[in-house]
Amino acid sequence: MSDAYLALEDGRVVEARGRVPGRTRGELVFTTAYTGYEESLTDPSYEEQVLTFSYPLIGNYGVRAERFESDRVHPRAAVAREFTEEVVEWLADEGVPAVDHLDTRDLVTSIREEGAMKVGIAVGEDVTPEDAKEELAQCKGMSEHVDIGAQVTTTELTTYEGDGDTTVALVDCGAKGSIVDSLVDRGATVHVLPYDADAEDVSALEPDVLFISNGPGDPENYTATRELVEEFAGEVPLAGICLGQQIVASALGGTTEKMAFGHRGVNQPVRDLQTGKVVMTTQNHGYTVADPGDKLDVTQVNVNDDTAEGLASEELSVITRQYHPEAHPGPHDSLGFFDDVLAMAGTEGNEHKPRVVASD
Catalytic, 191? Answer no
Q: Is 160 marked as binding a ligand?
A: no
Catalytic residue among 191, 285, 324, 328: 324
Q: Is 164 marked as binding a ligand?
A: no
Catalytic residue among 27, 38, 135, 326: 326
Q: How far apart are CA 214 and CA 195, in angstroms?
A: 11
Q: Is 286 marked as binding a ligand?
A: yes
How large is the angle between the packed helices 223-232 and 243-251, nearest 10 degrees?
Answer: 60
Catalytic residue among 135, 242, 263, 328: 242
Phi, psi of 310 (to 5 degrees): -150, 140
Q: Is 26 marked as binding a ligand?
A: no
Q: Is 284 marked as binding a ligand?
A: yes
Catalytic, 324? Answer yes
Q: Is 246 marked as binding a ligand?
A: yes
Instruction: Output b/e per residue, 243-266; b: 16+ Cβ within 10 A.
Output: bbbbbbbbbbebebeebebbbbbb
Q: How far apart are CA 300 and CA 296, in angstroms?
A: 12
Q: How far apart are CA 242 and CA 289, in angstroms?
A: 10
Instruction: Output b/e per residue, 53-91; b: 16+ Cβ within 10 A.
Output: bbbeebbeeebeeebbbbeebbbbbbbbbbbbeebbebb
For the sheet with 209-212, list strands across it: 158-160, 189-194, 167-172, 209-212, 238-241, 318-321, 308-313, 297-302, 255-272, 278-291
Report which of 85, 156, 114, 159 is spatially closest to residue 9, judged by C-alpha positions.
114
3-state SS class at 39: helix
User: Which residues are catalytic, by number?
Assistant: 242, 324, 326
Q: Which residues are annotated as a binding site for L-glutamine?
A: 45, 215, 217, 243, 246, 284, 286-287
